[in-house]
Amino acid sequence: MRTDNTVTFIHTSAEDDKTVYTPLIPIGMVGLASFLDRNYILSEILNVELERILNPDFDLAAYLIENKRTVFCLNLHWHSQSVKVMELCRLLKEAIPCSRIILGGFTASYYAAEIMASFPEIDFIITGESEQPLLDLLVRIFSGNKDFHLVANLFFREGGAVLSSRLTYNTTQQIIDAMEFANFKFLKNYDYYLRVEDPLNKADGLLSNVPATFYYNCGRGCLVNCSFCGGSRVAQKIINHRSEIIFISQGAVVRELKRASHEYGITRWHTCFDPLPKGDYYIELFRKIRAEGLKLNLGFECWALPSRQFIDEFAMTFDLCSSVLEISPECGSQRVRRQNKGYYYSNTELLDTLKYVFLRDIKVRVFFTAGLASETRDDIKETLKLIRLLRMQFKQINIKACCIEMEPCSPWNLDAEEYGITTDRRNFSDFLRAHQTGPSLGYRTNEFTGEDIEQIVAFYNSYNKTFDAKARNYSCCL
Ligand code: SF4
Burial 231-240 (b: 16+ CB within 10 A, else e): bbbbbbebbb
Q: Is residue 188 part of a domain?
A: no
Q: Is residue 142 part of a domain?
A: yes
How far is it, in rounded angstroms, from Cα 318 to Cα 290? 9
CA–centroid distance, residue 229 to ligand 1 (Å): 6
How far is it, in rounded angstroms, from Cα 227 to Cα 419? 8
Q: Same structural domain for residues 323 and 440?
A: yes
Q: Same structural domain for residues 252 and 388?
A: yes
CA–centroid distance, residue 303 to ligand 1 (Å): 7
- Which residues lie below 8 Å from residue 350, measured CB to CB, with a gap of 6+? 305, 327, 329
Q: Which three-class secondary structure string do you get for the chain?
A: CCCEEEEEEEECCCECCCEECCCCCCCHHHHHHHHHHHCCCEEEEEEHHHHHHHCCCCCHHHHHHHCCEEEEEEECCCHHHHHHHHHHHHHHHHHCCCCEEEEECHHHHHCHHHHHHHCCCCCEEECCCCHHHHHHHHHHHHHCCCCCCCCCCEEEEECCEEEECCCCCCCCHHHHHHCCCCCHHHECCHHHHCCCCCCEECCCCCCCCCCCEEECCCEECCCCCCCCCCCCHHHHHHHHCCCCCEECCHHHHHHHHHHHHHHHCCCEEEECCCCCCCCCHHHHHHHHHHHCCCCCEEEEEECCCCCHHHHHHHHHHCCCCCCEEEEEEECCCHHHHHHHCCCCCCHHHHHHHHHHHHHCCCEEEEEECCCCCCCCHHHHHHHHHHHHHHHHHCCCCEEEECCCCCCCCCHHHHCCHHHCEEECCCCHHHHHHHHHCCCCCCEEECCCCHHHHHHHHHHHHHHHHHCCCCCCCCHHHC
Q: Is residue 174 part of a domain?
A: no
Q: Same structural domain for residues 345 and 235?
A: yes
User: Which atom of ligand 1 is closest in space to residue 222's alpha carbon?
Assistant: 8
The range of the structural domain enclosing residue 120 comes to 4-164
Q: Same structural domain for residues 156 and 249?
A: no
User: Which atom of ligand 1 is closest in space to residue 235's alpha carbon?
Assistant: 3
Q: Is residue 176 part of a domain?
A: no
User: Which atom of ligand 1 is closest in space to residue 341's alpha carbon?
Assistant: 2
Instruction: For a ligand 1 pocket test, name from 228, 232, 413 the mutation site with the most ligand atoms within 8 angstroms of its C-beta.
Output: 232
Residue at which a domain ends, from 129, 144, 164: 164
Q: Same structural domain for residues 131 and 246?
A: no
Q: Same structural domain for residues 297 and 352?
A: yes
- Which residues lie below 8 Å from residue 287, measured CB to CB, with a gap of 6+? 313, 317
User: Which atom of ligand 1 is closest in space to residue 328's alpha carbon?
Assistant: 1
Q: What is the pTM of this model?
A: 0.95
User: Which atom of ligand 1 is closest in space to residue 343's alpha carbon?
Assistant: 7
User: Which atom of ligand 1 is closest in space to residue 232's alpha carbon?
Assistant: 3
Q: Is residue 200 part of a domain?
A: no
Instruction: Identify the CATH number of the domain in which residue 449 sits.
Output: 3.80.30.20
CA–centroid distance, residue 61 to ligand 1 (Å): 38
Instruction: For a ligand 1 pocket test, name from 303, 327, 339, 405 the mutation site with the most ligand atoms within 8 angstroms of its C-beta.
Output: 303
CA–centroid distance, residue 343 to ligand 1 (Å): 8
CB atoms within 10 A of CB 256: 23
Q: Same structural domain for residues 257 and 348?
A: yes
Q: Same structural domain for residues 154 and 289?
A: no
How far is it, in rounded angstroms, from Cα 255 to Cα 3? 35
Name which residue sits closest to atom 2 of ligand 1, judged by CA.
226
CA–centroid distance, residue 109 to ligand 1 (Å): 19
Q: Is residue 257 part of a domain?
A: yes
CA–centroid distance, residue 97 to ligand 1 (Å): 40
Q: Is residue 278 part of a domain?
A: yes
Instruction: Identify the CATH number of the domain in which residue 98 sits.
Output: 3.40.50.280
Instruction: For a ligand 1 pocket test, name from 224, 240, 419 the mutation site with the most ligand atoms within 8 angstroms of its C-beta.
Output: 224
Residue 299 has, within 13 A of its CA and on its CB side, a CA count of 14
CA–centroid distance, residue 383 to ligand 1 (Å): 21
CA–centroid distance, residue 226 to ligand 1 (Å): 6
282 contacts 321 by C-beta, under 8 angstroms: no
Q: Please give all residues whose beta carbon lies within 6 A of any atom in ligand 1, as ranges.
A: 222, 224-226, 229, 231-232, 303, 342
CA–centroid distance, residue 27 to ligand 1 (Å): 18
Q: Same structural domain for residues 236 and 143?
A: no
CA–centroid distance, residue 65 to ligand 1 (Å): 41
Q: Same structural domain for residues 111 and 259?
A: no
Residue at which a domain ends, from 164, 188, 220: 164
Q: Same structural domain for residues 407 and 258?
A: yes
Q: Same structural domain for residues 156 and 235?
A: no
Instruction: For a ligand 1 pocket test, name from 223, 229, 242, 410 the mutation site with the most ligand atoms within 8 angstroms of its C-beta.
Output: 229
392 contacts 469 by C-beta, under 8 angstroms: yes
Largest Cα span, the chain: 74
How far is it, in rounded angstroms, from Cα 431 to Cα 83? 9
- State the total domains in the chain: 2
pLDDT given at position 1 = 54
How far is it, in rounded angstroms, from Cα 431 to Cα 434? 5
Residue at which a domain ends, from 164, 192, 224: 164
Name which residue sits closest to atom 7 of ligand 1, judged by CA.
303
Q: Is residue 194 part of a domain?
A: no
pLDDT given at position 470 = 53
Torsion angle, alpha carbons of 60, 64, 65, 71, to 10: -130
Per-residue pLDDT for the chain (478 aa), expressed as one digit of tens each? 556 789 999 999 999 989 999 999 999 999 999 999 999 999 999 999 999 999 999 999 999 999 999 999 999 999 999 999 999 999 999 999 999 999 999 999 999 999 999 999 999 999 999 999 999 999 999 999 999 999 999 999 999 999 999 899 999 999 999 999 999 999 999 999 999 988 888 887 776 678 999 999 999 999 999 999 999 999 999 999 999 999 999 999 999 999 999 999 999 999 999 999 999 999 999 999 999 999 999 999 999 999 999 999 999 999 999 999 999 999 999 999 999 999 999 999 999 999 999 999 999 999 999 999 999 999 999 999 999 999 999 988 999 999 999 999 999 999 999 999 999 999 999 999 999 998 899 999 999 999 999 999 999 999 988 876 554 444 433 3
- Which residues lie below 8 Å from residue 205, measured CB to CB, with a gap of 6+? 53
User: Which atom of ligand 1 is closest in space to residue 304's alpha carbon?
Assistant: 7
CA–centroid distance, residue 336 to ligand 1 (Å): 16
How far is it, in rounded angstroms, from Cα 229 to Cα 151? 29
